[in-house]
A = this chain, B = another copy of it.
Amino acid sequence: MDALSLTFAALADPTRRAILARLALGEATVGELAAPFDLRLPTVSKHLKVLQRAGLVSQSRKAQWRPCQLEAAPLKDIAQWAEAFRASWERQFSQLDTYLDELQREPVARATGRGKRHDK
């Protein structure tokens, strides 16, 4: 699978996004990451493996602990991918503004499609 798909798939789970948010504050062990969730350790371990496959997390070793670290590079990639659509959403938002402006002037006529802008 391509890198972008792996990253998006990894982010399509609230548990995994919460783990990333926690890691943005600094290194944490698997147990520390698991604590906030009502999930067994192996489940969290599996989530971490998904994040590692996407290159979003790396793990080192300190005695019997395996501290995890955020690897933010793929997040930059998806931010850039989404940014390519900026023109689209800005155009749509300005259209929405225009629509709301028209609605302000002639509420019913615009909303129902009956009548015209200047049907004096």
Could you list which residues of chain A lie within 8 angstroms of chain B, going by C-beta atoms? 2, 4-5, 8-9, 11-14, 17, 20, 24, 70-73, 75-76, 78-79, 81-89, 92-93
Can you list 8 A-B pairs, Cβ within 8 angstroms, ordered by A?
A8-B12, A12-B12, A17-B81, A70-B88, A72-B89, A75-B85, A76-B89, A78-B82
- The quantity of this chain's copies bound in the complex is 2
Q: Cβ of A82 and Cβ of B79 under 8 Å apart?
A: yes
* Assembly CA distance A75 to B2 (angstroms): 20
Give chain B residues whose Cβ lies under 8 Å from the Cβ of A79: 79, 82-83, 85-86
- CB contact between A75 and one of B12, B24, B72, B82 (< 8 Å): that residue: B82
User: Taking the nearest CB of chain B, how far is it from the CB of A96, in angstroms?
Assistant: 9
CB pair B8 A11 closer than 8 Å: yes
Residues of chain B within 8 A of A5, CB atoms compared: 12-14
